[in-house]
Amino acid sequence: MATKQIKPIFSTLLRPLQNHRIRIIRTIVQFVMFGLLSGLIFGLARIPMLLPIAFPTGGPFSTVWNAFEALQYLLTYWIFPYLALSVFFLFGSILGKTTCGWVCPFGLFQDLFRLIPIKKKRVSRPTNKNLSKIGTTILVFILIMSFIIGITFNNSGVKTTFGAGKDMPFSTIDPSSTLFATLYYYLYWGMQSASFGAEIGQWKFLFFLRIIIFIIVLGLITVYPRAYCRWLCPTGVLLGLFSRFSIFGLRINKNRCTSGCDSCEKACPIQVPILTYDKDVTNKMCINCGECIDACKEGALKLTFRI
Ligand code: SF4
Ligand code: SF4
């Protein structure tokens, strides 16, 4: 076959890869990061590092600390969580929510759920914004609860009232803990011993509450891409406080935009109103995933350092 004929066939075959270049690179990075974060499977050691991601510290293979869990844990022992807060500040103000888009294992899990061939739905812009307030409410509630437990501990030195949630209240219902820790432990112990019923029995209510919340989240993320990140995740909310001012982020060059085109907004899993920004897209929900960049045929968008 002549070279002239091979060339178009070759470029047709490669087109899907070119059209999703960032998504492909990001997926590879997400899997590599998941491998490193679950490194105990491969015999990697745990390292003393806090990351702003949804991945349980107490998971069977976890190699790092979850910064939001550390924050709760310290508050409940009446210790000011300066290190955990610094992690949110540093990551948020430098990289924005890049860890959400590229590192967080629960983010990867949600991206994989998007592959289920069920028609995805979008919500209106105000609804998207209003639903994100649920995450803020969860964050405030968890911080107040940790604070109250901390005061009790400070006064009495004991922590009993809050039962299983006495150290990290959110972790008792956190869907990422349910996925990466609880389900694993229950299944593992269940298969290892005949006492599975007894194990569940001790924490029956909490176990079923966890499972119900997890199933609701699964339903949501199947229909609404990254619904957990958009509307519920307290780690994402905390990062978002700083990501508006981040040094790294998305930038649009509107001179390149074609009139009437909104391909970038349609491609955005988070439904960020990209076209309402004139230059830097400083939306606190943006996870720097780059899917809008893949979708823009005019090269009007880029992830860049904004200094
Ligand atoms: S917002 Fe999403 S990606 Fe970010 S930490 Fe939460 S679950 Fe992970
Ligand atoms: S605006 Fe672009 S980079 Fe930000 S979340 Fe949406 S698709 Fe990803």
**294: CATH:** 3.30.70.20
Claim to verify: residue 253 and residue 272 sit in the same structural domain: yes
Rounded Cα distance between 51 and 69, Å, is: 10
Answer yes or no: do 179 and 278 share one domain: no
How far is 31 from 21, CA to CA, in rounded Å? 16
The separation between the first and the last C-alpha atoms of the chain, rounded to the nearest angstrom, is: 51
Based on the structure, what is the number of domains in the chain? 2
Query: Do 39 and 61 meet the contact criterion of CB atoms below 8 Å apart?
Result: yes
| Ligand closest in space to the Cα of 269 | 2
In a domain, 291, yes or no: yes
Least confident among 12-26, 154-168, 184-198: 184-198
**C-alpha span between 52 and 37 (Å, rounded):** 12
Is the pLDDT assigned to residue 158 strictly greater than 60?
A: yes
Q: What are phi and psi of 65, to 5 degrees?
A: -95, 140
Q: Are residues 271 and 208 in the same domain?
A: no
- The three-class DSSP label of residue 211 is helix
Q: 253 and 237, same structural domain? A: no
Q: pTM value?
A: 0.89
Segment 11-33 mean pLDDT: 82
Atom of ligand 2 nearest to the CA of 274: 1
The parent domain of residue 267 ranges over: 244-305
Asked whether the beta carbons of 63 and 146 are under 8 A apart, the reply is no
Domain end, chosen from 195, 222, 242, is at 242
Q: pLDDT, tens digit, for every residue of 193-206? A: 555 555 555 567 77
- Whether residues 228 and 145 share a domain: the answer is yes
pLDDT at 134 over 80: yes
4 lies in a domain?
no
Q: Does the beta carbon of 100 lie inside 6 Å of ligand 2?
A: no
The number of angstroms, rounded, from the C-alpha of 140 to the middle of its chain's C-alpha atoms is 18
10-12-17-19 Cα dihedral, nearest 10 degrees: 140
Helix (H, G, I), strand (E, B) or coil at 271: coil
* Protein residue with least CA distance to atom 4, ligand 1: 100
Is 6 domain-assigned? no
Same domain membership, residue 130 and residue 76: yes
Question: Which residues surround ligand 1 with Cβ inside 6 Å?
Answer: 53-54, 100, 104, 106-107, 228-229, 233, 235-236
Q: Kindly state whether residues 225 and 300 are assigned to the same domain.
A: no
Residues 6+ apart with CB under 8 A from 141: none
Domain-ending residue, one of 221, 242, 263 = 242
Provide the 3-class DSSP secondary structure of residue 124: coil
* Whether 43 and 159 share a structural domain: yes
Last residue of a domain, one of 226, 242, 258: 242
Same domain? For 162 and 186 the reply is: yes
Whether residues 224 and 208 fall in one domain: yes
Same domain, 227 and 257: no
252 lines ligand 2 (CB under 6 A): no
Q: Are residues 237 and 278 in the same domain?
A: no
Average the pLDDT over each of 31-45, 110-124, 204-218, 278-292 and give the range with the smallest value: 31-45
Cα 115 to middle of ligand 2, angstroms:
18
Alpha helices in the chain (DSSP H): 3-19, 21-37, 67-76, 82-95, 98-102, 105-113, 125-156, 175-177, 183-192, 196-202, 204-223, 227, 234-243, 263-267, 291-295
Q: What is the mean pLDDT of residues 272-300?
A: 96
What pLDDT is recorded for position 60?
Answer: 79
Residue among 38, 169, 27, 40 nearest 109 (CA)? 27
